[in-house]
Amino acid sequence: MRLEPGVRSLYAVSEMERPTHFTILEIYADRSAYEAHIKSAHFLKQKTGTKDMVKSLELIDTVPLVVDMKIK
């Protein structure tokens, strides 16, 4: 997050019943911050390295309920 100012939060969990299933919640300041993220070298490296592991991907546009809330 310190490398990308537009990243507001990053949180990952695994399911208790299916520990190989992960949900990753990433929150960006805006669409341009997200688009910059998916073009970054570290994202592209991770995407290439996990392409055979990711079975599905769902991107959801949302509206914050509490604007500028930071998760510590």
**Each residue's pLDDT tens digit, 10-28:** 889 999 999 988 988 888 8
- pLDDT at residue 33, rounded to an integer: 92
Sign of CA dihedral 32, 65, 8, 42: negative
In this prediction, the residues of the chain whose per-residue pLDDT falls under 70 are: 1, 68-72
- pLDDT at residue 69, rounded to an integer: 67
- pLDDT at residue 27, rounded to an integer: 87
- pLDDT at residue 19, rounded to an integer: 92
- pLDDT at residue 70, rounded to an integer: 65
- pLDDT at residue 36, rounded to an integer: 93
Say if CB 37 and CB 6 are below 8 A apart.
yes
Say if CB 25 and CB 10 are below 8 A apart.
yes
Task: Return all residues near 27 (Cβ < 8 A) that are at least 6 apart.
Answer: 7, 8, 9, 10, 64
Q: What are phi and psi for residue 57, nearest 5 degrees?
A: -145, 130
C-alpha closest to that of 20 among 46, 54, 51, 57: 54
